[in-house]
Structure 1
């Protein structure tokens, strides 16, 4: 008598037939998820190449902008026709790009590419933040004692500023700051990112630009002054003091666009750059 040893065994999981009608077809896209598409980026018309470019973004950029007196913006930065920031021209022929919104991931690299290709700067300074509680270091310390960290492109040979620390692997910056540094590295530009320590882990960005909410963020005045000094030293500019300000949260204004919040973003101070 023949005996089939696998007669009473369960069928392998991969052999169980599917009830799906499209078993042999590609699965349909999940509802509510749009396919990837190009992002329209627009900067103000008539911009010229500059030798020095300062890019400030995130909550660190928002806090920094309140301690300086900026000239009138020459125009808005648009992502998919949504104002996400503004462009300023400085008295010494440089430029400042202030990003005042969170950006969808698919807009970060295109925006960084357009900014760098438009201004063609020789030196670029970037101000943003890194998440201190998740930073990996061979010298662990309290997030409350985390230093300002600096990440430079290969062409930036200047030593790390005093009292700052290098931003080292395996840690990674993400989204717009990462896109800017990637573009600068590709084109061989001299650039440095000054990253303030943040105690908060940011929520994942949405699929559309959204105004920043700084209800849970703050940095000591001394940290902002130090970061401000680092930026101007790295750019080779003559810097003046960052002026402390009366802080106003943006949470109650989250429904307003970047254009309408510009008056709140730029704080009172005594410095023109």
Structure 2
């Protein structure tokens, strides 16, 4: 093809008159269209009672607390995308169902709400007490910040929910501090339920900074698990009154004694087969 320009004595270059094959190649800077998120499968194995009080012990606090709480044999489990995230127990010292949640793996942010929603809609608890941690180093307070060993237990209660007993000397968890864990998803869902469900959260002081949620759900994911100095541990004279307070919140009086056993380190229990599938365990 020749140009009509009289001053041009040669054919125009090919790229000037027709498209190149490179235009059909994928542009690496082009933003792909948003894909719908994959559905999150939450499943409860076992037959936990419904319409009963629920005690939820989460993450590092739950793993340490469970070791001295004499929970007995695991009676159920909560699986998320075929990975065991929650362990269910029916200990003899309480009428409540005990859920040890995220002791050996943490949920991604997108999984927290479906997980909490499925548990609450399935078990339909009449009242809920929760145990988790807050970071002493990052807690914003007008008062001087106490060290991890002398920092108080803190609490957060929904409207019309009981505060912990005065003997615990717990202090409120106040703004501008935020909860960004699965515990926050439980509290939000309980706050929106109709009729409302009474729920109170106790927060143990932690020497660690808050761990960011993982991007994907892993079978085992314990931040900071490699160094004993990086882990939290709480003494029996802290966890005994905390446990009694958790029971008091759901309307039970108890002389429960927390007794440490098996060391302070978090170690996944050996897998064995049981009526709730792989990963059944004693704590």
TM-score, normalized by length of structure 1? 0.77
The change in CA–CA distance for 1:89 and 1:250 in structure 2 (over 3 A counts) is closer
- Answer yes or no: is the 8 Å Cα contact 1:76–1:259 preserved in 2: no
- Answer yes or no: is the 8 Å Cα contact 1:211–1:256 preserved in 2: no
The residue number in structure 2 matching 1:68 is 69
1:151 aligns with 2:152: no
The change in CA–CA distance for 1:76 and 1:167 in structure 2 (over 3 A counts) is same
Q: Distance in 1 between matches of 2:41 and 2:249?
A: 31
> Which of 177, 185, 191 is the aligned partner of 1:179?
185
Deviation digits for residues 205-261 of structure 1 (CA, Å, limit 9, x no counterpart): 22113343554221233222221121111122132111133415236x599899548
The change in CA–CA distance for 1:21 and 1:38 in structure 2 (over 3 A counts) is closer
Cα root mean square deviation, aligned? 3.0
Q: Distance in 1 between matches of 2:47 and 2:266?
A: 31
The residue number in structure 1 matching 2:78 is 77
Deviates more, 1:215-224 or 1:56-65: 215-224
> Which of 13, 32, 52 is the aligned partner of 1:28?
32
> Which of 212, 215, 219 is the aligned partner of 2:234?
219
Q: Distance in 1 between matches of 2:266 and 2:271?
A: 10
1:250 aligns with 2:266: yes
Q: Distance in 2 between matches of 1:68 and 1:198?
A: 19
Q: Distance in 1 between matches of 2:160 and 2:171?
A: 18
* Contiguous gaps of at least 5 residues in structure 1: 1-19, 267-273
Q: Distance in 1 between matches of 2:90 and 2:111?
A: 24
> Which of 199, 203, 209 is the aligned partner of 1:191?
199
Shift in Å, 1:132: 0.9
- Answer yes or no: is the 8 Å Cα contact 1:146–1:197 preserved in 2: yes
The residue number in structure 1 matching 2:20 is none
Q: How does 1:1-273 map to 2 (within 5 A)?
A: 27-28=31-32, 36-91=37-92, 93-99=95-101, 100=103, 101-144=105-148, 145-158=150-163, 161-162=166-167, 163-187=169-193, 188-206=196-214, 207-209=216-218, 210-212=220-222, 214=225, 215=228, 216-239=231-254, 240-250=256-266, 260=279, 262-263=281-282, 266=283
Deviation digits for residues 109-168 of structure 1 (CA, Å, limit 9, x no counterpart): 111111111111121011110111111112122233210001111130446644110111
Q: Distance in 1 between matches of 2:130 and 2:109?
A: 18
* Contiguous gaps of at least 5 residues in structure 2: 1-24
Deviates more, 1:178-187 or 1:226-235: 226-235
Q: Distance in 2 between matches of 1:57 and 1:169?
A: 21
- Answer yes or no: is the 8 Å Cα contact 1:130–1:197 preserved in 2: yes
Deviates more, 1:185-194 or 1:253-262: 253-262
Aligned residues: 241
SS of equivalent to 2:79: strand
Which structure has the bigger radius of gyration? 2
TM-score, normalized by length of structure 2? 0.75
